[in-house]
Amino acid sequence: MLDFHQLPVAITQVEARGQRYPPSIRARGPLTRRSGRLHGMARSRVTVVGVGADGWVGLAPAARAALTQAETVLGSTRQLALLPAGLTAVGEAWPTPLVPALPGILQAHAHRRLVILASGDPMFFGIGSTLVDLLGPSAVDVLPHPSSVSLACARLGWAAEDLDVVSAVGRPLAALHPAIQPGRRVLVLLADAGAADAVADLLRARGYPGSAMTLLEQLGGPAERIVMSSAAEWGETAHDPLAILAIEPRAQEHTWPLPRTPGLPDDAFDNDGQLTKREIRAVVLAALAPVPGQLLWDVGAGSGSVGIEWMRTHPACRAIAVESRPDRRPRIVANAEALGVPGLQIVAGSAPGALTDLPTPDAVFLGGAVSVPGVIDACLGALPAGGRVVASAVTVETEVALAGWHTSLGGTLTRIAVQRAGPIGSFTGWRPAMPVTLWSYRREGR
C-alpha cells in the first residue's frame, strides 16, 4: 500500500490538466476521436478523475469510488499529493515528456484498474481529450471536477458564455493578442510563476494600460488567493504556477483596436512593399471563406498578411506561408507573433517544389508565382472537394494566365480598382492604385 504523501518529487512539469503538453497527438498522424490511434488495444477501461485544489474533500462520490477501487493511479506529483494516505492503489507520477510515453504507459497497465488524475475538467485543455484521441471514446470514462474557468467565473460573477478563454500554458503568450478587444472579458490560463507579469507587459505595449487584471490561484482550495490591479499598476507578482488571470481590456485614447474581421490596416504589418493591400485583402479573405479548423496555403506569402488574417478569424484556423525569399521569412514570423497567430507555419522554398508533401489545403491563395509553370496546377491538384483557390494578378502577363484558367475551369474573374484621396497642392484628389485582378475557383463535390 502506498502512502501518497511520500512520492518522489521532480518527476515532471506536466500537469494532468493537459496545458503543458506538446501539440496534440492528433497532429502527429491520422487520428480521430471516433477511432483512436490505439483503438482495439487489449486493455481495461481508463477512468479519468478531475481533481481541484481542495483535493479529496472536493471529489464527488463516484470519483472517490473510482480511486478507492483503482489498482494504479497516474498523475502529477502535485495531484497525487492531494490524495489521502491509505488508498490501496499504486501511485505513479508522470514521466517527462509525457505524450510520447503515453501509449507505452497505457499498455503496461492494460489489465489493471487504472485511474488517471487531471486538474479540474479533464476535457478542457486536458488529458481527457488526449486519451479519447488515443483510445477512442468508448474506452475512457471521464469524471470531471469544476474547471478553473467555472470557478473563476463564480468568483468574479462573469457569465462564461460572454468571455474568451486563452491558454498560455505550453503555448505562446502572443496568442492572447486577438482576444484583447475593448469591452470583452478574457480569462488566461497560466502555468509559469511570472506569466501574469508578462501579460501586464503585453497589455501596456498594446496600448491597454488601464485594463483591469485579477489573478486567481488555488481556486477552491485552502490557499485560494485573489489579487486585483491594473496593467499599468501591476508589479512583479509571484503566483502559483497553475493560476488563471482575468482581464477586462481598456484601450487608451489613441489606441485603435485590431478586430478579427479581415482588412487590417496596412501599417499593422511590417513589410517591404510586398503586401496585399487592405481593400484587396478583405475581398481575398471573403473569397477564401475561412472556416474554423481549415487549412490555408499562402503561396508567395510576402509579409504573411493573408495567412495571418485567415488565422485571426478563428483560433482553430490554420495556415502555411510559403515564401522563397529568406529576407522575408523573419518578417512573416514577426508579423504573426505581433498579431496573435504564432502558430503560422512557414515553409522556405519556391513553388511548386515547396508544395510537395504539405498537408492537404482547404484553400489556397496565390499572391505571387501565378505565371510560374506548374504552380497553379499543383495547387489545384492538392485541393479536395469544396476547396478554394484565389489568385491575384497585377501585370498583363499574369492577368492573361488567370483569364486562361477562368476559361478552362470557370469560377469568377474580378478586377478591383481602388482610389485613395490624397493632397494635390492645397486641394484633395484621387490617387489610383494599380488595379488587381482576382480569379476565384471552388472545386465542386461538397
Q: Which of 425, 437, 328 is nearest to 391 (CA)?
A: 437
What's the pLDDT score for residue 369? 82
pLDDT the model gives residue 445: 73
Superfamily, domain 150-248: Tetrapyrrole methylase, C-terminal domain (3.30.950.10)
Average pLDDT over residues 335-344: 96
pLDDT at 81 over 60: yes
Interatomic CA distance for residues 422 and 432, integer angstroms: 10
Is residue 152 within 8 Å of residue 219, measured between CB atoms?
Answer: yes
Chain centroid to CA 437: 33
- Same fold yes or no, 4-145 and 150-248: no
Q: Is the pLDDT of residue 211 over 70?
A: yes
Whole-number percent of the chain with pLDDT over 90: 80
Q: What is the pLDDT of residues 395-413, one digit of tens each?
A: 999 999 999 999 999 999 9
Which residues face 421 on adjacent strands?
Answer: 430
Where does 5-158 have alpha helices with state H?
Answer: 61-69, 77-80, 102-108, 127-135, 148-156
Identify the band that residue 349 occupies on the pLDDT scale cut at 50, 70 and 90.
very high
Cβ pair 57, 82 in contact under 8 A: no
Lowest mean pLDDT among 101-110, 300-309, 419-428: 101-110
pLDDT of 26 over the 60 cut: no
Residue tagged 487489449 (cell numbers): 42
Strands (DSSP E) contained in 332-407 are 345-348, 363-366, 388-393
* CA separation for the pair 98, 136 (Å, rounded): 19
Q: Which residues contact 313 (CB under 8 A, 6 or more apart)?
A: 260, 261, 262, 285, 290
At residue 39 the predicted structure's pLDDT band, cuts being 50, 70 and 90, is: low
Superfamily of domain 4-145 in CATH is Tetrapyrrole methylase, N-terminal domain (3.40.1010.10)
- Asked whether residue 131 carries a pLDDT value surpassing 50, the answer given is yes
With a cut of 80, say whether residue 307 has pLDDT above it.
yes
pTM above 0.75, yes or no: yes
| pLDDT on residue 176 | 96
Give 375-393 pLDDT, tens digit per residue.
999 999 999 999 999 999 9
Flag the least confident range among 15-29, 133-147, 269-283, 344-358. 15-29
Assess contact for 184 and 232: CB atoms under 8 A: no
- Closest by CA to 430, choosing from 417, 440, 442, is 417
Least confident stretch, 51-65, 95-109, 185-199: 95-109
| Helices within 12-147 (DSSP H only) | 61-69, 77-80, 102-108, 127-135
Tell me which H or E stretch contains 287: helix 278-288
Q: What is the mean pLDDT of the chain?
A: 89
Please tell me whether residue 432 adopts helix, strand or coil conformation: strand
Q: Alpha-carbon distance 385 to 374, whole Å?
A: 20
CATH class of the domain at 266-442: alpha beta
The pLDDT score that the predictor gives to residue 29 is 33
Helices 305-312 + 278-288 axis angle, to 10:
60
Range 25-40 burial, b when 16+ CB lie within 10 A, else e:
bbeeeebeeeebbbee
pLDDT at 10 over 60: no
Q: What residue segments make up the domains of the chain, in order of their start?
A: 4-145, 150-248, 266-442
